[in-house]
A and B are shown apart, each in its own frame.
Chain A
Amino acid sequence: MKWWQIKKRNADLERELCSDLELEEEEQRERGVPAEQARSAARRTFGNPTLIREQTHEAWGWAPFERFWQDIRYALRQLKRSPGFTLTSILILALGIGAVTAIFSLIDTALLKMLPVQNPEQLVEFKNINPDFPVDDVFSYPTFKILQHQTPALAGALAFRKPRNIDIEIDGHSGLAKGQLVSGNYFSLLGVRAIHGRTILPDDESLPGQNSIAVIGYEYWKTRFAFAPDIVGKHILLNNVPFTIVGVTAPEFYGLQPGERVDVSVPLSMIGSVDPVYAAAGTPADTLKAPFRNWLHVIGRLQDGVSRERATSILRPIFTQAMREAAASLAGLPVDSPSIRQSYLHSRLQLDPGSQGLASLRRQFSKPLWIIMAVVALLLLITCANVANLLLARANAREKEIAIRFALGGGKGRLIRQLLTENLLLALGGGAIGVGLAYWGTGSLLALMTQGRNPISLNARVDFTVLAFAFGLSLLTALIFGTIPAWRATIVDPSHGLAQNRTQGGGAGAHSRLGRSIVVLQIALSLVLVVGAGLLTRTLANLRSFSPGFNQENVLLFSVNPSIIGYKDVVPLYEQILNRIRVIPGVHLATLSVREPLSTSASSTPVRVQGPSVPHGEDLASVAIELAGPDYFRTMEIPLLRGRDFSWNDRDGTPKVAVVNESMARHYFGDANPIGRFISIPGYRGDSSWIQIVGEVQDIKVHDLREPATLMLYQPMFQAPEGGATFEMRTSLDAAYAQTSALEAVKAINGRLPVYAVKTLSSQLDDSLIQERLVASLSELFGMLALLLTCVGLYGLLAYNVNRRTGEIGIRMALGAERARIARMILRETLLLVACGLALGLPGAVFASHLIASQLFALKPVDPVTFSGACLVMTAVAITASYLPARRAASIDPMQALRTE
């Protein structure tokens, strides 16, 4: 007997009961009972046929299922009967569930998801923990080679250089792509296959300079090659060096760094070809030979049955030995110094879980994402409270129906289950629409996140995990908003419930007490959200008005990288570009620097000072180095405190000079004048010659606005050029016009030179605040929604109460109460609710603001302005919500009210 045969089975039972009942009737008649009474007599002996039917169904063994089905059908009918209520509840729930699901899908993609590779849980990320190095996750090639073959601990290890811009020329058209250098076993160790051709193989790492093959990513194949079928064997130029494409990787694989997409991978033995300046092949600093050049990220796969702890303890002594060799290998080099050797000996190996790839995105986004998650969770609670209140009001309206059902013998458990089923349907409806909202919301959120200076390409989509989450969340939501109303609705005395007039009576008072508590809770939760949103918005405003140390208005930036198209001597080119853009009408000043302002942190190097300096013992204070062109400080409007700006004469062949910032001057020279003093930076490019300080400037923010002051040293770009540069133009021109003119100027010099990152300095500043903007605008949005929902909830409660008290108000008026007094009464009730809500919410808000204290800028967690503002806003919203009900109460006509009584 299967459940789909239920109809047949039911008909059969019906026939059986009928025939037996008829027989009983016949027998009654035969016994002499009059015909008209026989039927009812038969029924009496037989018992309640409906009950028999139900009990027999129980015996069939799938009664629970059948009951559930019944409940669902009944619930659907009930919901259809009040479409307004149903629609409102579902939409409110969709909002809450959708918001939480959207944020969850981001968190899942950015923080929780494992890499789409074979057995990702076996992967470990190698960390090079060192108090002296700012970067803790790179290793040298020789060290990697030593670690790679430690088979007792590892099934293998791969290395790669982080993806960076690479010039790629295809059929004569060049463009920029993200390229990474990988060890030969990269793909095989991960178990990533090629969907066309082959991946890079271990043999491809063997011959430095000769393994000119490349593998491209699926997305890149799609966007740049439009799925060209003849992709394998295609010849391309990478940084002007010929390569052959040998394969396309599987679509799900984006690389090992979540949030970043790799377009091209080439064997790391090709570093000398694609980045000759950095590779320094043939010198003692050769990237493929020098044990002290740390540049590779290393990911290992643990041997079967070996734990991370065990592997760490096996690998640590080997790593320490390798570091000793690295320190020794410095011998005879200009970089060598006891303190630098010491820093290698301080290095310690650490293995982190690597199943999700490199951790940088998680570090960057985990805090903001969790904050937003907390925000949307609060929002969901508020929506639950709203729906719970709607349900309470509805339960009141349904009191009669429920009383009838009790009177007809409905069990209490069954009734509660029935009501819960209705709630479940509401929640699932809300969940379904919520998933749609989440799908749309995730898209817009990703679009927001990809605007920043480090565009993030996340592969977030609504997948099985997200759907399962949304489903579970809907169930949970139904429990939260539905349990109490369902339980409350069934506290009905049948006789009372049937008899009573709906405008008065005991049940209603209790309902509205519960309703009031829910609204108080809602106000409290909203206060927490509004305070949070206020703090984050004020933080953003503070950051925006905070001066980074330069004037970000009216500056246009663009970057070039001549070395990737084969320029060896870049200075003449830079001079040419500068000379061209300086003369564009409307451009006041122009200069260049090696890094974009407010972008990546500068690398730091220890400094040696000639003559007396403030003693710092063994402390290796590192100094960030920036290379800057002529008129740099004038163009950026960085205040010059002493000495001079860089000029066109600071070039190769003239005495080496430098400008220091205030922090550095104070660190090394105290209050003494640093101008004219000499320093050297032996760790930087191995050049330990003396450099004279010619200027001192005010500190600026280098990476982001929250960072503490950094020690900074500026060197003239033309004395120590690098392969790439960013040009800064101070101009009164319209940004778009200035941009076109600048690009034309560059094109006139060399049409093949890729120009990228064209933007204004103020937009760059905005980009550096992307996280803060994201968090602030989302919490504002959700805070508004919370206010709106609370307002609606409060309005609903008050309107309902006024309606219920029509009679009472009528009597009051008949006894002489003025209309204003009635309105004040409603207002008083509102303010009492608000006061309770605020009293409950304030401790929560204080707690929450301490949780986000680290995200705030120039604000105390308990910021009096924000807190009092939030309380005012809540009160204002409450008064708005009470306006209509109060007016309605005041306009009650006593005669009419008493007549309806």
Chain B
Amino acid sequence: MSSTTKSSPQRANLLQGTLDMLILRTLLYGPAHGHQIGKRIQQTTNDFLQMQHGSLYPALHRLERRGWVISKWEMAPDRNREFKYYRLTEKGKKQLVVEESQWKQMAEAVARVMWPATEES
């Protein structure tokens, strides 16, 4: 919709569609709430992928609507408050496998175009 927020050059915008995969992958470690998921993706990539909450929450709700994750309000172990925890479902796990293999194919295809010599040797 609006393109007013610009990302700094060092930080890549998430490719359309990959966010779902990243969230699913992050949830493989165990249930997490929205803030944690964002933080985790950010930390794992050494802040290269800057999470924007603007896309994180819609994505979470979209995944829930498709039945790939379920959510529940639970007490956080470290803080004395309830958070909305997202948990991967069986369907979500299968989806992750599908998306992973698609991503791999895509990455290989891109690589073949970008570095043909490396591929031949």
Contacts and interface: CB of A to CB of B under 8 A. Distances in A.
A732 to B, nearest CB: 87
A13 B4 CA distance: 25
B61 A20 contact: no
Q: Interface SS of chain A: helix, strand, loop or mixed?
A: helix
Interface in A423-437: none
B58 A59 contact: yes
A55 B34 contact: no
B121 interface: no
B104 interface: no
Interface stretch (B6-14, B48-56, B95-103, B106-114): B48-56
A17 B57 contact: yes
Interface string B3-34: 01100000000000000000000000000011
Contacts of A22: 81
Interface string A19-61: 1101110100000000000000000011110011001101111
Q: How large is the interface on B (under 10, 10 to 19, 20 to 34, 35 or more residues)?
A: 20 to 34
A15 B84 contact: yes
Contacts of A56: 57-58, 61
A55 B57 contact: yes
A46 B5 CA distance: 13
B20 to A, nearest CB: 11
Contact of A20 (B58, B65, B83): B83
A59 B4 CA distance: 21
Contact of A47 (B34, B52, B61, B62): B52
B82 A19 contact: yes
A1 interface: yes
B35 interface: yes
Given A60-B61, A61-B65, A16 B34 contact: yes
A817 B57 CA distance: 67
A16 B84 contact: yes
B65 A60 contact: yes
A59 B83 contact: no
A17 B2 CA distance: 21
B90 to A, nearest CB: 20
Contacts of A59: 57-59, 61-62, 65
Interface in A172-188: none
Contacts of B35: 20, 23-24
B52 A19 contact: no
A13 B34 CA distance: 11
B57 A52 contact: yes
Contacts of B1: 411
A61 B63 CA distance: 12
A20 B54 contact: no
A58 B58 contact: yes
A52 B61 contact: no
Contacts of B57: 13, 16-17, 52, 55-56, 59
A24 B42 CA distance: 14
Given A409-B2, A411-B1, A51 B65 contact: no
B65 A1 contact: yes
Given A409-B2, A411-B1, A48 B83 contact: no
A52 B81 contact: no
B41 to A, nearest CB: 14
Contact of A48 (B54, B55, B82): B54
A62 to B, nearest CB: 11
A671 to B, nearest CB: 92
Contacts of B61: 13, 56, 59-60
Contacts of B84: 12, 15-16, 19
B3 to A, nearest CB: 12
A819 B34 CA distance: 73
15 contacts: A13-B57, A16-B34, A16-B57, A19-B33, A20-B35, A48-B54, A55-B54, A55-B58, A56-B58, A59-B58, A59-B59, A59-B65, A409-B4, A411-B1, A411-B2
Interface of B: 1-2, 4-5, 33-35, 52-55, 57-59, 61-62, 65, 73, 79, 81-84
A-B pairs, top 10 by smallest CB distance, nearest first, are A59-B58, A20-B35, A59-B62, A59-B61, A55-B58, A16-B84, A56-B58, A56-B57, A47-B54, A47-B53
Given A58-B58, A411-B2, 19 more contacts: A19-B82, A19-B83, A20-B33, A20-B34, A22-B81, A23-B83, A47-B52, A47-B54, A51-B54, A52-B54, A55-B55, A56-B57, A56-B61, A59-B58, A59-B62, A59-B65, A61-B65, A409-B2, A409-B4
